[in-house]
Amino acid sequence: MEIPLFLLIFFINLGCVVSELSLRFVFIIENHEPELGQLVGRALKVAEEQQDVRVDDSIVLLDRENEEESYGRFCSAISKGVSLIVDLSWSPWELAESVASGTGVPLVRTALSMQRLLSAVASHCASRNATDAALITESEADVDRALYELLGRSNIRLWVHAGLTRDSARALKNMRPDPSFYIIVGESGFVMDTYRRAVKEKLVRRDFRWYLLLTDYSGDSFDTSQLVLPTMMLHVDANECCKLLGSKDDCSCPSDLKRKQYILSGLMTYLAETYSKLENDLSVVTAKMDCDNIQASEMNVTRERVVRQFADDEQISNDTLFYWDGERSALYLRSTFVLSTFKPDSGLETVASWSANEEYKLLPGVTLEPLRPFFRVGTSPAVPWTLPKLDPDTGEQVYNEDGQPEYEGYCIDLIARIAETMEFDYEIITPKSGTFGKKLPNGSWDGVVGDLMRGETDLAVAALTMTAEREEVIDFVAPYFEQTGILI
């Protein structure tokens, strides 16, 4: 019996449809990033074209100020069926993690922006005993990303601001104590513009205190001609760009690369490939879940097998695009971070290179120069201890580049000698009101004593009389020289 041609074609197509793996991914994204929904759609199309799968998706907008409503949307999404929860939010959402843990649904996180670069620089700063840092980002959204990434995971106290304006520059100048480090993070154009503004605002004053973090792949071609002091630079090896593009190493990375899109496309392709590889091993791939009746299901077996496959892929090869971070249930880019030092006289020098799944470490034989402490030293004019420095030709007061008066005399020489012996840098500060310090009717102090009390200065070297009243608010060092009523 002959089978009509159209029936034969129908049966062949039906066989193809039956053999196609069907998945359903539920994505969690911040409500501040609704544009990610379109990127997810494009990424899934790429995955479907490269793998013999069909992936349905559901986007859940996470509003952290209205979690109950967001949770309702999430529960509605997984009630229609879910194979995998992909969390693209800035920080783990406890409600979603609780549901995933209770039902056995696999959950995967990732980072699409500068979060991993911030973690890398935090590891380095911790090795330099940093206690605080000022972080300047490109946008308000990046401010939130940075805070969610570092708070609770880093012991560094943060001041974070989007961009550098005149007001934020003034706030940085008035911050006491001064930040240990200043970090600019963003694409190369933003980083350079912000650095120039910092120089103009006279914020760049100390060696190796400014860090330039490049989120694009311009590290090898970054223009350092406008860097005025020794600086640190951190970027991602450009070979990562080639991997995202699916090209060989040393490819030409376009300056307008849509990095988020390529990361998502690579991640969706890898996830689809993993499920295709495990199709015969998984008894349940997609299941409907009820948030009102959370209980263990056969998806627990699915999750264990999928997670084990992620870990196995990482152990088999160090050349994969992503690696599995079991502690954070995340698939992160296997980025290679490159840390360099810049000196105006010698240029850029690479001092550290490490993979994102490794701990920060310097290159063999490399030792970083120790960072000199910085102190603001208070003093007040008093003949002959602290004298205004006069121009020998005009006899007028001499001012430094910041417009502050310069001084000379025994106290100034003593400050210089102490700094030389104890190896620290310093800035001499004179009181804006008062001289050595007088207690005011409201209980506060002016002068050198007042500056010490308020933290405007770290120490004082001045012709200051030690009195019981002053000893109540500041500490005097024990005298080591005494003659004719003069104590030093």
Q: Is 214 helix (H, G, I), strand (E, B) or coil?
A: strand
Asked if the model's pLDDT at residue 298 lies above 90, the reply is no
pLDDT at 250: 72
Q: How confident is the model at residue 464 (pLDDT cuts 50, 70, 90)?
A: confident
| Residues 76 and 99 sit within 8 Å (Cβ to Cβ) | no
Asked if the model's pLDDT at residue 404 lies above 90, the reply is no
439: DSSP letter: B
Q: Is 366 helix (H, G, I), strand (E, B) or coil?
A: coil
Asked if the model's pLDDT at residue 480 lies above 90, the reply is no
pLDDT at 106: 96
Asked if the model's pLDDT at residue 8 lies above 70, the reply is no
Q: Residues of CATH 3.40.50.2300 domain(s) within the chain?
A: 18-110+257-330, 115-214+217-243+336-355
Q: Residues of CATH 3.40.190.10 domain(s) within the chain?
A: 374-487
pLDDT at 220: 86
Q: What's the CA gap between 315 and 334, in Å, rounded? A: 13
Asked if the model's pLDDT at residue 278 lies above 90, the reply is yes
Whose tokens are 């999928």? That residue is 306
Report the topology of domain 374-487. Answer: D-Maltodextrin-Binding Protein; domain 2 (3.40.190)
| Residues 101 and 88 sit within 8 Å (Cβ to Cβ) | no
- Please work out, in degrees rounded to the nearest 5, the angle formed at the alpha carbon of residue 358 by the alpha carbons of 354 and 360: 55
| 410 φ, ψ (degrees, to nearest 5) | -60, -45
Asked if the model's pLDDT at residue 3 lies above 70, the reply is no
18-110+257-330: which CATH architecture? 3-Layer(aba) Sandwich (3.40)
| Residues 125 and 173 sit within 8 Å (Cβ to Cβ) | no
pLDDT at 13: 46
Asked if the model's pLDDT at residue 17 lies above 70, the reply is no
Q: What is the pLDDT of residues 120-143, one digit of tens each?
A: 999 999 999 999 999 999 999 999
Residue type, 172: L
Q: What is the pLDDT of residues 51-90, one digit of tens each?
A: 889 999 999 999 999 999 999 999 999 999 999 999 999 9
Q: How confident is the model at residue 11 (pLDDT cuts 50, 70, 90)?
A: very low
Burial 294-332 (b: 16+ CB within 10 A, else e): eeebebbebbeebbebbeebbeeeeebbbbbbeeebbbb
pLDDT at 251: 81
CATH class (in words) of the domain with range 115-214+217-243+336-355: alpha beta
Asked if the model's pLDDT at residue 16 lies above 90, the reply is no
Residue whose C-alpha is closest to residue 153's, from 185, 182, 125: 125
Q: What's the CA gap between 175 and 122, in Å, rounded? A: 21
Whose tokens are 């310069």? That residue is 406
Average pLDDT over residues 252-279: 93
pTM of the model: 0.88
Q: Which of 27-41, 87-101, 159-173, 394-408 has the lowest mean pLDDT?
A: 394-408
Q: What's the CA gap between 105 and 301, in Å, rounded? A: 9
Average pLDDT over residues 433-454: 93
Q: What is the mean pLDDT of the chain?
A: 91
Q: What's the CA gap between 6 and 38, in Å, rounded? A: 38
Q: Tell me what percent of the residues of the chain surpass a pLDDT of 70.
A: 94
Q: Which of 82-96, 246-260, 293-307, 355-369 has the lowest mean pLDDT?
A: 246-260
Asked if the model's pLDDT at residue 276 lies above 70, the reply is yes
Q: What is the pLDDT of residues 177-206, one digit of tens each?
A: 889 999 999 999 999 999 999 999 999 999
Q: What's the CA gap between 425 and 429, in Å, rounded? A: 13
Tokens of 221: 């071609």
Asked if the model's pLDDT at residue 319 lies above 90, the reply is no
Average pLDDT over residues 232-255: 88
Q: What's the CA gap between 338 and 114, in Å, rounded? A: 14
Helical spans, DSSP H, in 128-258: 140-150, 166-173, 188-200, 239-245
Q: How confident is the model at residue 10 (pLDDT cuts 50, 70, 90)?
A: very low
